[in-house]
Every structure is written in C-alpha cells, then in structure tokens.
Amino acid sequence: MALNDWLSNVQLLMRWLHVIAGITWIGHLYFFNFVNVPLQGSLDDATKKLVNPKLMPRALWWFRWGAMITLLAGLILFALTYMYTPGKGFGANSTFLDESGKLTARAIWISMGMLLGFIMWFNVWFIIWPSQKKLLSGKAGDKAAEIRKRAGFFSRINTFLSGPMLFGMLAPAHYGASNPATLLVAIVLGVIAIWWAIKTSAKVGTSV
C-alpha cells in the first residue's frame, strides 16, 4: 500500500531526483576519466579539433547540471530526513542526534558523504567547468596546457573522491554502525576501486 503522508512522498521524489541526477553527473565523470582520457591520447590534432568542440560542450552540460541538481535535491533530502519532524517543524531530529545529543551513526555517514560530495560539486563548478570553458572558447591562449592540466587534476581528484563518497551515501540507510574503522575501510576500499578502474581503463576496450 502506498504511503499517503506528504513527507514520505516528497522524500521519495527527492531521493529519486537525487539519484538520477547523481548517475548523470558521476556517469559523465567516469566517461571523462575511464573512456575519454585514454581515447584523447590516441587521437591526432586534426581529429581532436573536429570531435572535441562537438563532444565536450554537450557532455559538460549534463555533467555540471547533473552536479547542481544532485546537490540541491541532496540538501532537500537532508533537510527532510535529518532536520524535520512532522508536527514539530524544522530542527535536528532523532535521526540526526540521539537521546544524549550525540550524532547518530547515520548522521556521521551522511556527513562524510555530503562533505566529499560538496567538495566534488565545488570542483566541478569553480575549477573544472571554468577551465573547460576557457579551453573550448579559445580564451586560454598560451596558458592552455597549464589550464588543461589543472582541470584534469581536479577531475581525477573527483573520480577518487567518488568511491568513498558513495559509501557515505549508501551506508546511512543501509548499514548504520559507524566508527573510525568502518569509515577508514570505506575510504580505502572506495579509493582502491577507483585506482583499479583508472589503471584498467588504459588497457580495456581497444579491440572487441
């Protein structure tokens, strides 16, 4: 039976919007890092000039707006899940703070996830996209190589952060217990998975 209270319905809608936008964002991030970086290395300059001005603006549009909607829907989801009690209004609820006023395990996990997600969103909007805009508009001039390197570096950082960030998104509602060891394992596993994917991306898919 469907729940008919407004909070459950709005929460589900925000959860869905958050995850579908997150897939769009991180999907493009992985396309850039696992597919496009190795591909670009194998293209000659003439092909790059033909392909990139058509490919990159499209891909970067979904990438940056995916990031924006993910953040906004994520913040609304946070407010409704941790900062709202029906009948009482806004303020930290029992999902965020326990009876003794300490952060719950769920709150600790989502704080880690949101911190990493926020850093990633910041990198997209204030470093990667402005750099790419300069490169694509031809305004980078003789700084092009430096700007490309900086954008690529922060894109790599975001790719590494995405591994632990996703543990921080999934653990709150589906795992619970949090202590320094569980957080450390999540961070290490997340980084190792991305490291493996980057290493593998240099070798796979060059033939069928």
Q: How far is the CB of 134 from ligand HEM (least distance, A)?
A: 24
26 binds ligand HEM (CB under 6 A): yes
Instruction: Please choose, from the candidates 144, 145, 152, the residue with its C-alpha nearest in 3D space to the C-alpha of residue 127.
Output: 152
Q: How far is the CB of 108 from ligand HEM (least distance, A)?
A: 11
If we measure between CA atoms, which residue out of 36, 30, 59 comes closest to residue 161? 30
| 12 vs 185, beta carbon nearer ligand HEM | 12
The set of residues, in sequence order, having a beta carbon less than 8 Å from that of 66 and lying 6+ positions away, is: 21, 22, 23, 24, 25, 26, 27, 28
Subset of 169-208 contacting ligand HEM (CB under 6 A): 169-170, 172-174
**Nearest distance in Å: CB 14, ligand HEM:** 9
Q: How far is the CB of 198 from ligand HEM (least distance, A)?
A: 18
Distance CA 115, CA 121 (A): 10
Q: How far apart are CA 175 and CA 167, in angstroms?
A: 10
Identified binder of ligand HEM from the candidate list 33, 34, 60, 81, rule CB under 6 A: 81
Residue type, 176: G
Query: How far apart are CB 131 and ligand HEM at their closest, in Å?
Result: 20
- Estimate the crossing angle of helix 45-82 against helix 6-30, to 10 degrees: 160
Residue 113 or 163: which CB sits closer to ligand HEM?
113
- CB atoms inside a 10 Å sphere around CB 27: 13
Chosen residue from 28, 60, 64, 77 binding ligand HEM by CB under 6 A: 77
Q: Residues interacting with ligand HEM, by CB under 6 A?
A: 15, 18-19, 22-23, 25-26, 70-71, 74-75, 77-78, 81, 106, 110, 113-114, 117-118, 121, 169-170, 172-174
